[in-house]
Structure 1
Amino acid sequence: MKRFGTFSGVFVPSFEAILGAVLFLILPLLVGQVGMVNMLIIVVLANTATLATGFSIADSATNLADVGGGGMYAVSKQSLGRAFGGSIGVQIYIAQAVSIGFYCIGFAEPLEPLLRQFAPAAAIIEQYGLSSLQTRQVIATLFAVVGLIVALVGADFVSGLQMIILVVLSAAVLAIFVSPLMNPTYEGSRLFAAAPNLTGSGVRIGFAAAFAIFFPAVTGIDAGVGMSGSLKTPQRSLVIGTFAAIGVTTAVYLGVTVVFGFVDPQLLLPRNGQTVTTLDLFSQTPVLPLVLMAGILLATSSSALSYFLTAPRTLQALIADNVMPRQTGFLGRDFRAGGSEPRIAALLTFAITTGVIWSGDISFISMVVGICFLVVYGWVNFAAFLEHISGNPSFRPSSRGHWLISLYGFLLCLGIIALFNIWVGIAVLAFQVTIFSLILRYKTGSQLEGVWWGALFALMQWLFGRMGKIIQGTKNWRPIVGTFAFHDRPNQIDGMLEMGKRLAEYKGIVSMHVLADRGEDDAEIELRTPTTAHVLRYNGDSVNTMLSGIIQSVPAAGFGMNTVMLPVDPRFDAASLIEYALRLDKHVLLYKPAGMTEVDGVTRYNRIDVWWKGAENGSLMALLAHVVRYNDMKRKQTPSRIRFLRKLWGEESTDEARREMQELLRVARLDGEVVIIDQDDQPIAATVCSYSSDARLVFLGLPGKPAESGKAAGSLTRFFNIDRKIFQKNFEPYAQMPEMLFVKAAHVLDLRE
């Protein structure tokens, strides 16, 4: 049921969570150590992190029709997806539940010495032999039980208590502000000096250490945001309530820092190893100690109660979104039939709280939880940053945030994590990555949701724009391959898809197109077509016309194919298509699938054979062979051995030809074995079959000669005029050969680059 407004649902929980133990127990020491000026800077800098997070929350929340329960998890999952958002939600819940234990200990801290002065309580403590730590643990546990009971009663009751706490806490803060008018004494000296303590005194703890100690004080906005599922108008309340809480509490911390800046710095030095608190400073002043004690107790109790409400709701939201394992579904339920309060989740939260209380020294756990909150705040900022830069039309928040603000919040959170403990930060991030991986695998089918596609699209769009202003040249050449296969040849599709990956999966881009006649059955086509391929329909003999249009088309990003791979198939006029592609300066590969796996009982070896006749096709073939070998290695396959074969013609010398090839490979920085074949009367097909029948892949250049200068279409001055007779001959000599790529280069690549 959504029943809370901006003030009671967001402002009050955040206000009370921010103004806690640090304000009353630690701030005087910090001001005394680093001085008023440095402390004012720390307060402002720390609050910029929460202010940036507030803007990011506003951007995300006002872009949602329904925020839902879960607080920061709810606003982040919409942008980062269920898997990544779920990993954040799990982290938030753990941090919230553990934080209750800290606040319970904070509640017990000032009560423990008072109880020892109360005779009945002192007798019980002495009877059981409780140490100071054990006494605080007992007090904290009893308070946790009270908090659980209050949480089980319901959010309405807690909200009513928080209103009372707000009044007392405000009175305690007001008491600090009016204390200079009373000018009380402490340890025989006037508390306030005539001049402010601007630079600090005593043993300095340092600016960075002071910042790390103070920062957790300003992170309480999660207490209000966590009530998102119970707000009447969450989009409005989350924005106004969060900013109001940040603004008011920042003003309070700045004002109190100025007040403590006028305290005699000598009175702020630790006494007997104990930190001087506001209770100590005003111990000799009438009424003020009682008001401050009430403020401290109620501030810590309010924070604990706030998280007793928000933590179970975060877990309930995770369960409702099917992020948690199915077996945990009962945790999101209520005791009562038809009830909506997460009362069972509250019991689990109490169990975690009790474990924290009795864990002993909780200082390390406190740091870990503080880093968890920082990681969450960082991702909330990063989510808003991604939404801004993605440019998705769906991102239409009514707030006025800017991507720089969100980026600043994200980077500042990372910096503060490093300031706390970079190794613990890495461990927390590793835990989150583990949770993300589990949710991604078992809950979302390994599919990322959210803004990621839009952000990557925006990045690619920007990069493509920059690439259009850069001359590519041979040095930057990469295969951008468009492959085309007929749908009624499954072996052809499978072979070309695999070959396309070997050519371009890691060094370029490959797109698979399946050609299907319009009269063929849709279901049959879908059955035979890989999910990564695009189906292209053609009418009868119009396949050449369609392919010509596709080859010359330019994608929206201007990232068109530079290489076309076609099957050896009689259904299109390969000669005209190749000639047309060459006019467009696109390389052409004709693919022939493998024949028998063995020839004359000889098993084929993991070898690539490149038949060299010259640089016109040879340079491209050499480069493609190198790319295939590299991609095979990246795919965890045994790397292919490359062999360059050259058959002598005319008066060529064997030694001279070998030296030329070896020098070419050296200059081109290519690995490979050189094989020189003596001239004979055999046709090239017979020679190729004789030497390469035991290879895995064979590159062979297509014959042809350059057209005469000025005869090319348009402004082109050079293209290869294919000898059409080659396509009238039968490919039968190569039928039993391994996979072959017949290559025709549109231009010569300079292997020296």
Structure 2
Amino acid sequence: MQKKFGTIRGVFIPSYEALFGAVLFLVLPMLTGAMGFWRMALIVVLSNTVTLATAFSLADCVTNLRQVGPGGMYALARRSFGRAFGGSIGIQLFLAQSVSIGFYVIGFAEPLQEVLSGLPGYRELVASLGLSLLEQKQVIASLLAVVGCVSSLIGADFTSRIQVVIFFILTASIGAILISPLVGTPSSEGGVFANRLNLTGLGGFGFWVAFAAFFPAVTGIDAGVGMSGELKDARKSLPLGTFLAIAVTALGYLGVTYVYSLMDPHLLLRGEGGEVPSLVALFGRNLPAVSLLVLLGILFATGSSALAYFLTAPRTLKTLAEDGILPGFLSFVRKDFVKGGSEPRWATLVTFLIVLGTVWSGDITFVSTVVGICFLVVYGWINVAAFFERMSGNPSFRPTFRGHWAISLYGALLALAVIGLFNVWVGLGVLGSQLLLFWLLLKYRAGGRLEGVWWGLIFSVLQWAFGRMRRIIQGTKNWRPVMGVFAFADRPEQIEQGVRVASRITAFKGLSVFNLLRPDDFEGEIDSGGDTAVIFQRKNPFSALIRGAALAAMPGGLVLNTVLLPLDRRLNLIDLVEELAGEGRHVLLYKHGVPRGEEDERIDVWWKGQENGNLMALLAYIIRETDAERGLPRKRIRLIRVLEERMERVREEAELRSLLDVARLEGEVLVLDPDERPFDEVVEEHSRDASLVLMGMPGQRASGLARVFSLDRREFDRQIARFDELPPVLFVKSAYRVALFDEE
């Protein structure tokens, strides 16, 4: 049975050792000499606020879960952002963790090579092998990587025991630095300490340059968080261990900064050749014991960080594979090659290969910047996750930790700002690569559907917007189609046509709600999707159901102002259209027509007056714009009017042209002489090559909206059938006059 860890061994010690890294010994002395105590202390505090805010966000996310599971920060991101977006974060996190091991073992090799070079026989051995200085360090780093890999393969318990030993050695080294002023001698007597505290520094660095140089020191908390799957009680240990590690290391950094401020600042600046001053050599002047402990501290600070991430990175990779995020050929990393084992040993070997690639890649300065930004991106998203969770107001988000959204927002914004300080273009590249990973995972792993907090977040935004909409008068200039679409479940062609027509009208200019009418004798499967309501009918007429659905209230004070009905004999369309129009709902009937293969890119609107014609003209404009948005040819709109007795051609044509001009609708006007032929024959002659025809419903009176039909049902069906040979036709019944332009 795999051993589970508590707060100290599982979270605090790995985070403590990753936070107290090489920056403490190699970079902080030089920065303190240049910046002075006050500014350097401010940098330490400001840097730690990012980590602290991330810890608050982490506590929010962790204490909201019943069980955290393996994967560390990736697991938290996946729970909040879903599989696709969380997976893109997890992949970047794993790569950053793996490559950072390479940096740490190289950092270990730097001082060790200097020590080894003083041993007898070392220079002869190196010369015989023909190794350059860089290659010597790479060989040493590779050997340390092998040690870390082997210890990780043995198991987490073995590695954790090594970390405990390193913890005491590292603490002793830091303690030696803190007490060194009590036993050291002033620089005037050959020591390193000055007679006064260096408050302002000697210059040489700008504040934000120094901030960016120090900040990597505080990006190690995921070393402990990554052990989430190995903890006895992750909900308790992760927040507690992380907060404890941040508090202790922040105080440690402030204390060491104070000690460095007591040193002679001239000794801490870069040499003439640009070399960084050696803390080991400085203390070696008259404090050999401290110098030895500092050397051990440097070695173990880098080695322990490498060891911590050798535990964390494989577990992140294994969890990614178990969640189906990785390609199929990497599925083996889920397994352990030891029979009955549960350690991520295959994942450890993959991590080891990445480490070796990093060590032998040559100059890793640019890669280190990329990895640092990757960690910042992950930290930023953890803060965003907690912020989104609180903003969403989801009832399921009930963390026992009482954080605040402002803390998470601060952490996210400051992480973004620090990315800019490192390198804006690299930051954009890292974010861009993550979005590319997200798109690929969304398409190939999540079926194109988002998961996680997004629905609740958008719902909260909509809820807020609906509340504001109730206080705003819509007016004529803001009319948009809010459409209820109805079709029978046993008529696939109705469903297809209804979806297509509704999409052309509402995709960019309005909203649509699709309703499937399911007869009692229908036994087929219905895939309703997320935007479709399925209405079951047994005895009551379908028309009554449609009328009830069309008149139902919607959030935000919205109402269905338009209804798209199918041409189906099970509906009493004459009464239904008249009732819906009387209740203020525009009604549309779509007849698919006969595709001719030679249609002109034109929409014909048969005009009989503004009562019904305004709506038809507006729908024609909306359909044209929707098609254009989708990359289809922009269709021409043509208003056609058949003159009646005592109508003047010039006057009617001028009125239509004026209407188009005032309403700013691009279109043509065609005025036809009075014609004794049936109306469908006239339409056939002039609109046979149109892509879509809009006209009033058969039986509709030319003036007034009080009554819709003067035909019985049989005559209505016969009139509709007359247009069977036409292109697609949209029959329109306007419930009221729609304004084509702002008339105020």
Query: For the superposition of Structure 1 and Structure 2, which TM-score range results when normalised by the shorter chain?
Result: over 0.9
Distance in 2 between residues matched to 1:291 and 1:157, nearest whole Å: 24
Could you tell me how far apart the structure 2 residues matched to 1:525 and 1:162 are?
59
- Relative distance call for 1:297 and 1:541 in structure 2 (3 A) is closer
Match of 1:507 among 477, 484, 509: 509
How far apart, in 1, do the equivalents of 2:516 and 2:351 lie? Answer: 56
Give secondary structure in 2 for the equivalent of 1:119: coil
The 3 A distance-change label for structure 1 pair 656 and 194 is farther
* 1:676 paired residue number: 671
Find the counterpart in structure 2 of residue 721 from structure 1. 707
Query: Quick check: 1:751 aligned with 2:718?
Result: no
Q: Partners in 1 of 2:43 and 2:663 — Cα distance?
A: 59
Partner SS for 1:465: helix
Task: Give the count of matched residue pairs.
Answer: 734
Task: State the partner residue of 2:251.
Answer: 251
Cα pair distance change 1:285/1:623, threshold 3 Å: farther
Counterpart amino acid of residue 668 in structure 1: A
Pair 1:391 & 2:377 matched: no
- For the 8 Å contact 1:479–1:507, the answer to whether it is kept is yes
- Give distance in 2, aligned partners of 1:544 and 1:724: 19
- Matches of residues 275-674 of structure 1 in structure 2 within 5 Å? 275-286=276-287, 287-517=289-519, 519-521=520-522, 523-524=523-524, 526=526, 533-540=532-539, 542-594=541-593, 596-598=594-596, 603-674=598-669
Q: In 1, distance between residues paired with 2:618 and 2:188?
A: 85
619-628 or 508-517: bigger deviation: 508-517
- Taking the aligned partners of 2:712 and 2:671, their CA distance within structure 1 comes to 25
Q: 1:188 to 1:706 in 2, by over 3 A?
A: farther
The one-letter code sitting in structure 2 at the alignment partner of 1:745 is S
State the distance in 2 between where 1:442 and 1:449 align.
Answer: 14
Any conservation in 1 of the 2:99–2:354 contact (CA below 8 Å)?
A: yes
- 1:574 positional shift: 3.0
For 1:492 and 1:368, locate their aligned partners in 2 and report how far apart those are by CA, in whole Å: 54
CA distance in 1, matches of 2:334, 2:679: 75
**Structure 2 counterpart SS, 1:512:** strand
- Contact conserved, 2:149 with 2:352, CA < 8 A, in 1? yes
Distance in structure 2 (CA, Å) of the matches to 1:549 and 1:196 = 81
SS at structure 2 position matched to 1:721: coil
Q: Is the 8 A contact 2:488 2:495 kept in 1?
A: yes
Please state whether the residue corresponding to 2:32 is helix, strand or coil: helix
For 1:716, the equivalent position in structure 2 comes to: none
Question: How far has the Cα of 1:236 moved from its partner?
Answer: 0.7
Paired residue type of 1:721: R
Letter in 1 for 2:85: F
How far does residue 364 in structure 1 lie from its aligned partner after superposition?
A: 0.6
Identify the residue that residue 168 of structure 1 maps to in structure 2: 169
- Pairing 1:684-703 to 2, within 5 Å after superposition: 684-702=679-697, 703=700
Counterpart Cα distance in 1 of 2:529 and 2:112: 70
Q: What does residue 58 of structure 2 align with?
A: 57
Once the two structures are TM-superposed, the CA of residue 50 in structure 1 deviates from its matched residue by 1.0
Paired letter, 1:281: L
Relative to structure 1, the CA distance from residue 319 to residue 723 in structure 2 (aligned partners, 3 Å threshold; closer, same or farther) is closer
- Relative to structure 1, is the Cα distance of residues 751 and 275 closer, same or farther in structure 2, using a 3 angstrom cutoff? same
Q: Distance in 1 between matches of 2:492 and 2:326?
A: 42
Is 1:130–2:131 an aligned residue pair? Answer: yes
Aligned-partner residue type, residue 306 of structure 1: A
Q: CA deviation at 1:706?
A: 7.5
Q: Which residue of 2 aligns with 1:39?
A: 40
Task: Work out whether residues 92 and 372 of structure 1, in 8 Å CA contact, stay in contact via their aligned partners in 2.
Answer: yes
Report the Cα distance in structure 2 between the residues aligned to 1:558 and 1:402, rounded to whole angstroms.
32
1:185, 1:285 within 8 Å by CA — same for their partners in 2?
no
Q: Is the 8 A contact 1:563 1:587 kept in 2?
A: yes
Deviations 1:262-287 (A, max 9, x none): 33332322123212243243231321
Deviations 1:541-599 (A, max 9, x none): 522322221121112444331111123444333343334333433222222231x334x
**1:374-407 per-position Cα deviation (integer Å, ceiling 9, x unaligned):** 1111121222222222222222221112222222
What SS does structure 2 have at the residue aligned with 1:266?
helix
Hey, what's the Cα distance between the residues in 2 that align with 1:378 and 1:46?
14
Closer, same or farther: CA 530–78 of 1 in aligned 2, 3 Å: closer
If the length of structure 2 is used for normalisation, what is the TM-score?
0.94
Matched AA of 1:698: V
Name the residue aligned to 1:48.
Answer: 49
Q: Evaluate the alpha carbon distance shift between residue 743 and residue 536 of structure 1 in structure 2; reply closer, same or farther with a 3 A threshold.
A: same
Q: Is the 8 A contact 2:187 2:194 kept in 1?
A: no
Pair 733,334 (structure 1): closer, same or farther in 2 beyond 3 Å? closer
Tell which deviates more after alignment, 320-329 or 531-540: 531-540
Deviation digits for residues 77-133 of structure 1, max 9, x if unmatched?
111112222222211111111111100111111122222222221221233343322
Identify unmatched segments of 5+ residues in structure 2.
Answer: none
Gap change, CA 1:682 and 1:216, over 3 Å in 2: same
Rounded Cα–Cα distance in structure 2 between residues aligned with 1:661 and 1:468 = 36
Any conservation in 1 of the 2:21–2:302 contact (CA below 8 Å)? yes
Structure 1 distance, partners of 2:278, 2:467, is 60
Q: What is the alpha-carbon distance in structure 1 between the residues aligned to residue 679 and residue 290 of structure 2?
A: 104
Q: Is the 8 A contact 1:101 1:357 kept in 2?
A: yes
Deviates more, 1:101-110 or 1:80-89: 80-89
Gaps of 5+ in 1: 708-718
Matches of 1:264 and 1:128, distance apart in 2: 42
Contact 1:333 1:344 in 2 (8 A): yes
CA distance in 1, matches of 2:122, 2:175: 32
Tell whether 2:727 aligns with 1:738: yes
Q: Confirm or deny: 8 A CA contact 1:68 1:228 kept in the other structure.
A: yes
Deviation at 1:737, TM superposition (A): 2.0
> Does structure 1 retain, via aligned residues, the 8 Å contact 2:52–2:246?
yes
Amino acid at match of 1:674: V
Instruction: Please tell me the residue identity of whatever aligns with 2:479.
Output: W
Asked whether the equivalents of residues 30 and 210 of structure 1 are also in contact (C-alpha less than 8 Å), the reply is: yes
> Residue 199 and residue 583 in structure 1: after superposition, are their counterparts in 2 closer, same or farther (change >3 A)?
farther
User: Counterpart of 2:77?
Assistant: 76
Which residue of structure 1 aligns with residue 219 of structure 2? 219
Structure 2 residue 248 is matched with structure 1 residue 264: no
d(CA) in 1 for partners of 2:568, 2:336: 67
Query: Hey, what's the Cα distance between the residues in 2 that align with 1:474 and 1:281?
Result: 80
CA gap 1:202/1:694 in 2 versus in 1, 3 angstroms: closer
Assess if the C-alpha contact under 8 Å between 2:469 and 2:557 holds in 1: no
1:187, 1:25 → 2: CA distance? 24
* CA distance in 2: counterparts of 1:490 and 1:340, whole angstroms: 51
What SS is found at the alignment partner of 1:642? strand
Tell me how far apart the structure 2 counterparts of residues 531 and 115 of structure 1 sit (CA, whole Å).
67
Mapped to 2, the partners of 1:422 and 1:377 lie a distance apart of 17
Root mean square deviation, CA, Å:
2.3
So what's the TM-score if we normalise by structure 1? 0.93
State the alpha-carbon separation in 1 of the partners of residues 627 and 494 from structure 2. 20
Q: Which runs of 4+ in 1 moved over 6 A?
A: none
Structure 2: how far apart are the matches of 1:567 and 1:331? 54
Distance 1:751 1:410 in 2: 46
Preserved CA contact (<8 Å) 1:2 1:229? no
Q: Which amino acid aligns with 2:402?
A: R
Q: Quote how far apart the aligned CAs of 1:419 are.
A: 1.5
Residue 25 of structure 1 deviates from its aligned partner by 0.8
Q: CA deviation at 1:525?
A: 6.2
Partners of 2:21 and 2:526 in 1: CA distance: 63
Shift, 1:507, TM fit: 1.6
Tell me, in whole angstroms, the C-alpha distance in 2 between the residues paired with 1:68 and 1:700: 62
